[in-house]
Amino acid sequence: MVLDGRLCYGGDYNPEQWPAEVWKQDVELMRQARVTLVTVGVFAWSRLEPAPGRYTFDWLDQVLDLLHAGGIRVALATPTASPPPWFSLAHPDALPVTADGVRLHHGSRDTYCAAAPAYRAAARRITGLLAERYADHPALALWHVHNEYGTTCHCHHAEAGFRRWLRDRYRDLDALNDAWTTSFWSQHHSDWAQVSTPRATQYLPNPGQVLDFRRYWSDELLAAYVEQRNLLRAATPGVPVTTNYVLGDWVPVDHARWAAEVDLVAIDHYPSDAGPAAEEQIALAADLARGWARHGARHHARATDGDLPGARGSWLLMESAPNLIYTPGRMHTREPGRMARHSLAYVARGSRGAMFFQWRAPRGGAELFHSALVPHAGPDSRIFREAVELGGMLDRLAEVDAGVVEAPVAIAWDAASGWALQQRALPSDRIHHHTEVAVAHRALRRAGYACDPVLPGDPLTGYALLVLPALYLADDDTAAWVRDHVHGGGHVVIGYLSGVADEHARIRLGGYPGAYRDVLGVRVEEFHLLADGEEVPLTGGGTGRFWAETVRVAGAEPVDAYAAGVLAGQPAVTRHRYGDGVAWYVSTRPDEGTYQRLLDEAARAAGASPTCPDAPPGVEAVRRRSPEASWLFLLNHTASAQRVPTAGIDLLTGAVVEDAVTLPAGGVAVVRERAGA
Amino acid sequence: MVLDGRLCYGGDYNPEQWPAEVWKQDVELMRQARVTLVTVGVFAWSRLEPAPGRYTFDWLDQVLDLLHAGGIRVALATPTASPPPWFSLAHPDALPVTADGVRLHHGSRDTYCAAAPAYRAAARRITGLLAERYADHPALALWHVHNEYGTTCHCHHAEAGFRRWLRDRYRDLDALNDAWTTSFWSQHHSDWAQVSTPRATQYLPNPGQVLDFRRYWSDELLAAYVEQRNLLRAATPGVPVTTNYVLGDWVPVDHARWAAEVDLVAIDHYPSDAGPAAEEQIALAADLARGWARHGARHHARATDGDLPGARGSWLLMESAPNLIYTPGRMHTREPGRMARHSLAYVARGSRGAMFFQWRAPRGGAELFHSALVPHAGPDSRIFREAVELGGMLDRLAEVDAGVVEAPVAIAWDAASGWALQQRALPSDRIHHHTEVAVAHRALRRAGYACDPVLPGDPLTGYALLVLPALYLADDDTAAWVRDHVHGGGHVVIGYLSGVADEHARIRLGGYPGAYRDVLGVRVEEFHLLADGEEVPLTGGGTGRFWAETVRVAGAEPVDAYAAGVLAGQPAVTRHRYGDGVAWYVSTRPDEGTYQRLLDEAARAAGASPTCPDAPPGVEAVRRRSPEASWLFLLNHTASAQRVPTAGIDLLTGAVVEDAVTLPAGGVAVVRERAGA
Amino acid sequence: MVLDGRLCYGGDYNPEQWPAEVWKQDVELMRQARVTLVTVGVFAWSRLEPAPGRYTFDWLDQVLDLLHAGGIRVALATPTASPPPWFSLAHPDALPVTADGVRLHHGSRDTYCAAAPAYRAAARRITGLLAERYADHPALALWHVHNEYGTTCHCHHAEAGFRRWLRDRYRDLDALNDAWTTSFWSQHHSDWAQVSTPRATQYLPNPGQVLDFRRYWSDELLAAYVEQRNLLRAATPGVPVTTNYVLGDWVPVDHARWAAEVDLVAIDHYPSDAGPAAEEQIALAADLARGWARHGARHHARATDGDLPGARGSWLLMESAPNLIYTPGRMHTREPGRMARHSLAYVARGSRGAMFFQWRAPRGGAELFHSALVPHAGPDSRIFREAVELGGMLDRLAEVDAGVVEAPVAIAWDAASGWALQQRALPSDRIHHHTEVAVAHRALRRAGYACDPVLPGDPLTGYALLVLPALYLADDDTAAWVRDHVHGGGHVVIGYLSGVADEHARIRLGGYPGAYRDVLGVRVEEFHLLADGEEVPLTGGGTGRFWAETVRVAGAEPVDAYAAGVLAGQPAVTRHRYGDGVAWYVSTRPDEGTYQRLLDEAARAAGASPTCPDAPPGVEAVRRRSPEASWLFLLNHTASAQRVPTAGIDLLTGAVVEDAVTLPAGGVAVVRERAGA
């Protein structure tokens, strides 16, 4: 997907919102900004098929021809994320139903049940017509299926689908009863007909049911995607197919498993904090996308002519906001230059470009204040001027697409663990797998280590250190994966709430963390939650927060200990030699500095080293490497100039870097490193 | 509605809650308090018609006769705001349905759908019977239709009504598609049958649909009102008809447009803050009511014998709370004397009296702790003693009813702009038209200027200054109204978020504020929202809050500028000579002192002057003027005595004021000014 | 229920969650912990009857035999709190419906409508079968009906039941209209068919309807309980029957009235605060349970052989959490020793033992992290070791079961007042009967006084002082009860919001508190609510919070007065000699110290004295006394050792106490007092 040797740059383009005279201006402005790729048609169903069976493709023909004439490639979208109003009236049974039984109505987007046969048939129909019509269009570079799969439903189609999925998974009703622990609260099913979606009920729901409902929807939505993909692939075997992932706790999609079915992992990403956490969120999201991409079936090798094959783990930032950061209750305007720095931060971590939602700000509609490359004020605006600058920068960086991101640390991330930790009645309502991963990722990033997210079972060759932050679920294979890895010489840091439960979210009994007691040489008797703002001092000088535990050592040596309270004198952090490897256990959430030092110590002991040991604090360093070259991305997130020792050529300026580069406040350098440097 | 030469004084009287022996005591107490008018029968339907078609008017006959014998006039209410339980059972299709599809049940008040034919027919029937029976009753002074129109519905009657209304408005489905920007998110309608009310949907609703749904309900409710009014007018051509407006963001009523259909604008008003904001809220609500009244068709000229015709813009405070201020979560007991001062604050700003909900506190029911003139403790109570005092005060003030409130400043207020700014996904969830109006109104009030709310298109003769705070919507006529006014020599102060969108809430492109860029000589590229508590310093010494903008001058001169942050050095406030006039732009929310000084400067430059330049801070001064006389209301909101230079006669004490009046802490004077003073 | 001369100790045992091999280990561990009683089968319906009419009692047979062989007695539960999934499918009309009309679905527990005939029939059937099968089982010690009755419903069965109940209560529709004040807001019913449950409606509901809906459900649920009890009693006349009360504002159960129908009052109790409030909540809950038990019909005299009859007011803590305190959003791990101290705190105040939910922590299900005596970590854990210790302690305390708790103060508590004060539109949303009782109870406890909760109408012989904190409702009998008591020489302290309303929650007019003005010699004109954190100084040196009033004395003498604000100089606390007694009125919520001193003064004046005047602060002292002996419980809630003068034998250590016992930090002593000490 490096188009004609260039990185992807552009965004969602919705010509259906504008009269034809604007289209020409758009293409002209795109050329001015060096746009290479636009996503067309994401929400165009009601324009393509304004009434059932009445098709109006002519405007889209014109738009694609115009784009092609302008040298802009197209990610052509199937419009199935928003069926037209006529669809709702024709198929009321295909409208989604909430857990409360409320049937939703059209008037927004995404009002369909993806398990409803009528919806699936309609989606296949419009997709097939698009595939047929545009298979040979020269602008076509990528198929963009749907938009942000993620809606669920409790209608009778969904219930039937859930039951079918459960029968496939468990075969036997007793196995389901066992997995869901239906012996609790008299929930034993004696007939498949009694099994339903987790609808509104009197009190706490069954956590096994809720977890499997998420899994079912991931698979049902994936099936809906695959149906479309297959149609498109059949029509255009050489054109890659993708769908844009949406991130968030509510999303019932196991992105890693989906990766095997997409030709290019693509994510939409919108940081939710206007401060330095924005950069932390970007780094984590980009790393996650790369981790998912490493699980892909690599169909994107079948890329169209003129495209580079893409490095291992490369992916695409499909949507981001040009100007604004959406914080709760308030849109924050990005400071000058920050959009470009953010875009390059994604590219540094493996994105094959930077795409935005959307090209031109709409006059109306639900998201009329959503950020755009051409804002309401038009092209004579800071935003568009920065877009032009960014286009120039990306143009000079195409070669980095061949580089694989270097990472000596692996960090486990698992969708199902995240879902399982959303159950109610946990020890705290602040427990989130994603948060625990983010805390560890932040500490590693501050310590200067790049890391790759991995899934249980992934090969770990090449990683000096493996970190498991609240990897709550562990089936026997996962337990063995960790055990064998450490036994064979691997180093692992395991955080609290890891391996506590099996794949059905049932507790592994006998002491936490059930799956890893042997590897860790510890046995946890009980947990102790700290109140908000409460800290427990550690003998090593730091503090623990949020969570603490009664840790009984059984072979492990204490590394740090609680220094006060009922746990005073008892171990907080332990280390255990197991086979040829080392396993650390962290039973609390250390303060940032302590956690950073701890992970740094564990990483160094495992033989890892930071990406750029001499980078000053606040300068993020990421390296991509190909067999032929390496590129060092240096992103200065501070408000003053920073000097970083390195040598090579700064691609953005073309300047030769002799021994160091000086980054202005907020500045970026991408240095093609001198061999041997 | 000045009854027999007296101001209106009284409140809701609900004799149906009491046995007949209490009625006589009530009339006696009313006489003691010099009550002139009571509203009877607002919630009496189930007493007037306890079963379908079974009528029991005899008790009401008795009550009206008793009141008449006591010299108390009656605002006779139609009871249609609360149909009896039998109505719900007979007409389940006339019960309201929420956006979620929940059909509400009787058990409170207002459980009907005003678009349901059965409801409308029943309302006409009971209204017709009341009109017939009491047309000639000598106590009858005013018809009080319904109560606080404002409920909406999503049932099939409402949906059909909405569609009819939309067909009337847009004629053509394409026009509706265009107005609602249905090209966004594939919402194009290809048949009127696809158009529905904004029911529960998956994600953000269509803002155009939501806005029109409000407009539809304003018109549907108005039609329901007009049906009743016509019946009453036909029966009693000489008796004015009104309905009591309820205020609030949730209310789908365009009060200004309704004013043309009522013979007297009447509002219910309950401040929501126990501190000085109570007085600010009162001043604004009273001014709004007067502004609406100025849009009336002045049917109240057809007042009954013995009534004064009423000054221009006069209106009536129909409901207020005698003793309590309802703050969130807590009822605040008004300090001694504050009820009277508040009552006179309304009269100062044009109310033809002071009415209360309710006369006598009920034993039970949903609002049993609602404040009343005769509280649970009975007449031997501070509250009733203050009620008697207030009656005496109002008795001495009847002459002011002839006076028009003097205001040199006009401030724009627009229901539809308020509704449009309630859409979701705005740049901030703190944006409210009403808040922006209130902030400007407060600054003007502190600077000593009286102001009249005006609507887009209103004649502006007589106003030195026009202020537009977040007048979000501007159709082309509104844009021309401002342009022509300034071109012709007018002075205007325009705040951020004014003229940003057209009448369909679609952005006017090319830079904010689209409708006024030419008049202002500025072009706004982008907005910058500040966090709660965040301030940006201004070069003039003040600070800006909440909102800031990148303002490019295009003819305007900077008056004040941002002094820090990414906007440092760029204009915050500008002034532009346009034609013979002057247009100011305020791109941030200045701190109170700065805003007050700014508006004072703009007003003085425009030739306006404060009502009473020598009034000390905390003393509110309002003047009413008739061709024959002028009256200066002085309300001391401070906790110490205050001296105000003036001359004339203090109507409350009868004392001659030679050169100044000294107001005790919390005290009030109403001075008939010496001619030429 | 002191089993074979031992206190009850054990908890909910759910063998259906575990394979048979675990059962034997369970019985062994129970013996190790000296468990005497376990509750079996609470949620076992779907295991006992996995499909309609297919019964599988064999596993339960085995379990009971095993327990019996191990010397463990059984509280055998009817499983009706959680019908199996097949029940929902067979009887959809028996699923509960919310006020919004949402019919809930199985998937949790408690998804049934207790008014549905199908549910009631099914519940009787399974109960009858259990009674028949296990009537003669030697392990059977107690029948435990259902679990935590408390769910309500709005389905048509519930509506019909509500109407029947109302017809029984009011006979005449006019009486209902009057009681509910349907004259307010036009809610007059002209036919019984118009009367419904308080379903979702447009605005505030009718408070009389809401109050009666609570009362109805208390009676409907009681009827469901009685049906089961009668079946059980018929089968086993000698075995007591109970049900475990759940506490909380949402619970529509009048526990005191239910007491007449249970053979042993049993409560589930979970403190909600991890700090010292936990101990306060325990003291209050235990006292309430004892108060309810004193209203019982004393059927438990019919205890099985080997059981002590139980002292007056004795009851049973049926559920508590072994290790955790569930605070909002977080589970707090109890500090070492605190579980035992808490358990003895319940026993001190009349519990016949300490039971826990649950015996063994489950692997899965909705409450998988709920605390258990055998935790996830297994028996090698602090929790189980403490459980063994507690078993030993309780074993040494069996004799105290003969003692009645001594209390010189009575404090009124009334379910209906609590419900009435949950109506919306009260003067403050912070008004709760339970909170007001808790504040007074805490002050009395700190002052060292034990108190018995009483209900209006209870005999007051033996109580020196009666306290009424916000006893909102007072019918004429209640008013007479207080009046006669004081007239006859009783002393009473009445707090604000007492006697304000009649039994239908209608205000008693003429000045608050309508029911007690004569006794108190005061008349309250109006209330004044204070803001959060606001205080009003009192002339006595303390402060008032939350609530204040304009109190006019009419015979009473001021004891303390407001010292600032609009009430400055007016009485805050008054005292009135009435007949031979004394009545105090407290019109505000005094700060803790002031309230403690005030109640201490009132109690001493009435002739009461603290339980253990020499106990240092933080040491709780409670005495139980039988005709033969007395036992002094001393619970040291402080973090340091405390010395308490007393003499006798410490049952826990067996040591002779000569003149004082020294309690270690967090320690407990139970001293059989030397006669005459």
Dump pLDDT digits (tens) for C186-245: 999 999 999 999 999 999 999 999 999 999 999 999 999 999 999 999 999 999 999 999
A496 vs A431: CA distance, rounded Å: 11
pLDDT given for residue B676 in this prediction:
63
Q: C201 to chain B: which residues are within 8 Å by CB?
A: 104-108, 111
Mean model confidence pLDDT for chain B: 96
Chunked in runs of 10, what are the mean pLDDT values of chain A (677 residues)?
Answer: 85 97 98 98 97 97 98 98 98 98 97 98 98 98 98 98 98 98 98 98 98 98 98 97 97 96 97 97 98 75 48 94 96 97 98 97 97 98 98 97 96 98 95 97 98 95 97 98 98 98 98 98 98 97 98 98 97 98 98 98 98 96 96 98 98 97 98 83
For C500, nearest residue in chain B (alpha carbons): B376
The set of long-range contacts for B380-383, using a CB threshold of 8 Å and a minimum separation of 24, is B380/C511, B381/C511, B381/C525, B381/C526, B382/B336, B382/C525, B382/C526, B382/C550, B383/B322, B383/B323, B383/C525, B383/C526
Considering the domain architecture, whether residues C244 and C292 belong to the same structural domain is answered as: no
CB contact under 8 A, A323 and B507: no
C383/A194 Cβ within 8 A: no
Gyration radius (Cα) of chain B, Å = 26
| pLDDT for the residue A478 | 98
Confidence class for position B311, pLDDT limits 50, 70, 90 = confident
With 50 as the cut, is the pLDDT of residue B306 above it?
no
C406 is catalytic: no
**C343 inside domain:** yes
Q: What is the DSSP string of B367-435?
A: TTTS--SB-TT-SSSHHHHHHHHHHHHHHTTGGGGGPEEP-SEEEE--HHHHHHTT-SS-SBTT--HHH
Closest-CA residue to C621 (of C415, C444, C387, C427):
C444
Do B253 and B381 lie in a common domain?
yes
Beta-carbon contacts of B171 under 8 Å, excluding residues fewer than 6 positions away, are: none
Q: Are C417 and C373 in contact (CB under 8 A)?
A: no
The 10s digit of each residue's pLDDT in A151-197 is 999 999 999 999 999 999 999 999 999 999 999 999 999 999 999 99
The CA-to-CA distance between both ends of chain C, in Å, stands at 30
Task: Calculate Rg over the CA atoms of chain C.
Answer: 26
Residues 119-178 in C contacting A (C-alpha not used; CB under 8 Å): 151
Asked if residue A614 belongs to a domain, the reply is no
Q: Is residue C7 part of a domain?
A: no
Buried b / exposed e over A597-627, threshold 16 CB at 10 Å, is bbbbebbeebebebbbeebeeebbbbbbbee
Cβ distance B206 to A17 less than 8 Å, yes or no, reads no
Token pair for A36: 């290479």
Cα separation of C442 and C592, whole Å? Answer: 9
Q: Is residue A17 part of a domain?
A: yes
Contact state of C202 with B151 under an 8 Å Cβ cutoff: yes
**Token pair in block for residue A503:** 């794949």
Which one of C174, C183, C431, C500 makes the best mutation probe of the B interface by having the most chain B beta carbons within 10 Å? Answer: C183
Tell me which of C49, C148, C280, C436 is the catalytic residue.
C148
C-beta atoms of C182 and B103 within 8 A: no
Residues B357 and B420 in one domain: no
Q: Which of C159, C319, C386, C399 is catalytic?
A: C319
> Is there a single domain that holds both residue A523 and residue A475?
yes
| CA nearest to B408, candidates B615, B630, B596, B608 | B608
From A280's Cα to the closest Cα of chain C, the distance in A is 27
For chain C positions 540-599, those within 8 Å of chain B (CB to CB) are 550, 566
Q: What is the pLDDT at residue A532?
A: 94
pLDDT at C4: 80
Tens of pLDDT, residue by residue over B111-152, are: 999 999 999 999 999 999 999 999 999 999 999 999 999 999
Binding residues of C for substrate: 109, 147
Q: Using the structure block, give the residue that is written with the tokens 């109805």.
A: C216
Distance CA A389, CA B510 (A): 21
In angstroms, rounded to a whole number, what is the distance separating the alpha carbons of residues B70 and B64? Answer: 10
Non-local CB neighbours of A46 within 8 Å, separated by 6+ positions = A82, A84, A85, A86, B182, B186, B187, B188, B190
Give the DSSP H or E segment for B282.
Answer: helix B277-293
Ranges of chain C whose pLDDT falls below 50: 299-306, 308
For residue C2, is it within any domain? no
Query: A200 and chain C: CB distance < 8 Å anywhere?
Result: yes
Is residue C336 within 8 angstroms of chain A, CB to CB?
yes
Residue C393 CA to residue C633 CA, distance in Å, equals 13
Residue B185 to residue A366, Cβ atoms within 8 A: yes
Q: Is the pLDDT of residue B344 over 70?
A: yes
The letter for the amino acid at C406 is E
pLDDT of residue C322: 95
ipTM over 0.90: yes
Determine the structural domain holding residue C504 and report its residue range.
409-605
Interface subset of B 419-458, CB within 8 angstroms of A: 424-430
Shared-domain flag, residues C219 and C237: yes
pLDDT of amino acid A308: 45
Q: How far apart, in Å, are the Cα atoms of C204 and each of B330, C112, C198, C423?
A: 16, 27, 10, 9
Helices (H), A379-432: 382-395, 415-420
- Phi, psi of A557, rounded to the nearest 5 degrees: -110, 140
Tell me the residue type at B224: A
The answer to whether residues B638 and B580 belong to one domain is: no
Cβ contact A366–B424 (<8 Å): yes
Name the minimum distance, in Å, from the CA of C17 to any CA of chain A.
5
- Number of neighbouring beta carbons within 10 Å of residue C128: 16
Q: What is the spatial distance between Cα B510 and Cα B554, in angstroms, rounded to a whole number?
A: 13
The verdict on whether omega for the bond into residue B271 sits within 30 degrees of 0, i.e. cis, is no
Task: Provide the 10 A C-beta neighbour count for residue B293.
Answer: 28
C550 contacts in B (CB within 8 Å)? 382
Residue B378, φ and ψ in degrees, nearest 5: 90, -175
Whether residues A191 and C51 touch (CB distance < 8 A) is answered with: yes
Q: The domain spanning residue B519 has which CATH number?
A: 3.40.50.880
Query: Are B360 and B319 part of one and the same domain?
Result: yes
The residue from A400, A426, A445 where one domain ends is A400
Active site residues of B: 148, 319
In a domain, C669, yes or no: yes
**Min CA distance, B514 vs chain A (Å)?**
9
Q: How far apart are alpha carbons A268 and A246 in whole angstroms? A: 5
Domain end (from A350, A376, A400)? A400
Same-domain status, A305 and A368: yes
Q: Measured between alpha carbons, how far is C290 from C295 in angstroms, rounded to an integer? A: 9
In a domain, A76, yes or no: yes
How many CB atoms lie under 10 A from the CB of residue C53? 7
Closest CA to C431 of C423, C562, C456: C423
Whichever domain contains C653, its CATH number is 2.60.40.1180
* Token reading at B292: 């609406």
In sign, the C-alpha dihedral spanning C274, C277, C281, C282 is positive
The reply to whether B614 falls in a domain is no
In B, which residues are within 8 Å of C192 by CB distance? none
Looking at the complex, does the CB of residue C212 fall below 8 Å from at least one CB of chain A? no
Q: From the candidates A56, A108, A146, which should be mutated to test the interface with B, based on the most B CB atoms within 10 A?
A: A108
**Reduced to 3 states, what is the DSSP secondary structure of residue A535?**
strand
CA geometry: angle C639, C642, C648, nearest 5 deg: 140
In sequence order, which residues have a C-beta less than 8 Å from that of residue B599 and are 6 or more positions away?
Answer: B440, B443, B444, B447, B449, B465, B467, B493
The reply to whether C372 and C389 lie within a common domain is: yes
Q: How far apart are CA A363 and CA B211, in angstroms?
A: 15
3-state secondary structure A64-88: HHHHHHCCCEEEEECCCCCCCHHHH
Q: Do C104 and A183 touch (CB under 8 A)?
A: no
Check CB contact under 8 Å for C378 and A511: yes
Does C584 lie in the same domain as C496? yes
CA neighbor of A358 nearest in space, from A346, A341, A375, A344? A375
Of A185, A509, A511, the CB nearest to C366: A185
Helix, strand, or coil (residue C341): helix
| Boundary-marking domain end, from A605, A634, A664 | A605
Distance from CA of C155 to the nearest CA of B (A): 13
Pairing outcome for strands B73-77 and B140-144: parallel
| Residues B374-383, mean pLDDT to the nearest whole number | 98
Please report, for residues A332, A420, A471, C168, the alpha-carbon distance to residue A466 in angstroms, rounded to integers and kept in the order given: 36, 22, 12, 71
**DSSP-assigned letters across all residues of C387-405:** HHHHHHHHHTTGGGGGPEE
Q: Centre a 10 Å sphere on the Cβ of residue B660 and count the other Cβ atoms it contains.
A: 12
Contact A208 C111 (CB under 8 A): no
- Name subunits touching C (3+ CB pairs < 8 A): A, B
Q: Is C248 on the interface with A (CB under 8 A)?
A: no
Q: Which chains touch A (3 or more CB pairs under 8 A)?
A: B, C
Residues A483 and A506 in one domain: yes
- The answer to whether B527 faces chain C, any CB pair under 8 Å, is no
Q: Are the CB atoms for B243 and B232 separated by under 8 Å?
A: no
In this structure, the number of other CB atoms found within 10 A of the CB of residue A521 comes to: 20
- Give chain B's domain count: 3
C88, containing H or E segment: helix C85-90
Residues making up the binding site of A for substrate: 109, 147
Tell me whether residue A148 is one of the annotated catalytic residues.
Answer: yes
Interchain pair C207, B45: CB under 8 A: no
**Binding annotation of C for Zn(2+):** 113, 153, 155
Position B2 scores a pLDDT of 61
pLDDT category at B299 given cuts 50, 70, 90 is very low
3-state DSSP assignment of residue B196:
coil
Bridge partners of residue A669, in order along the sequence = A634
Residue of B nearest to C191 (CA): B86
For residues A485 and A506, is the Cβ–Cβ distance under 8 A? no
Which residue in C188, C207, C526 is closest to B375 by CB distance?
Answer: C526
Report d(CA A59, CA C160) in Å as an integer. Answer: 62
Whether pLDDT at B301 is above 80: no
Taking only the tens place, the pLDDT of each residue in B68-107 is 999 999 999 999 999 999 999 999 999 999 999 999 999 9
Q: Are residues C593 and C632 in the same domain?
A: no
Per DSSP, helices labelled H in A172-267 are 173-179, 207-235, 255-258
Least CB–CB distance from C181: residue in B88, B100, B364: B364
C515 lies within 8 A of chain A by CB: no
The three-state secondary structure class of A268 is strand
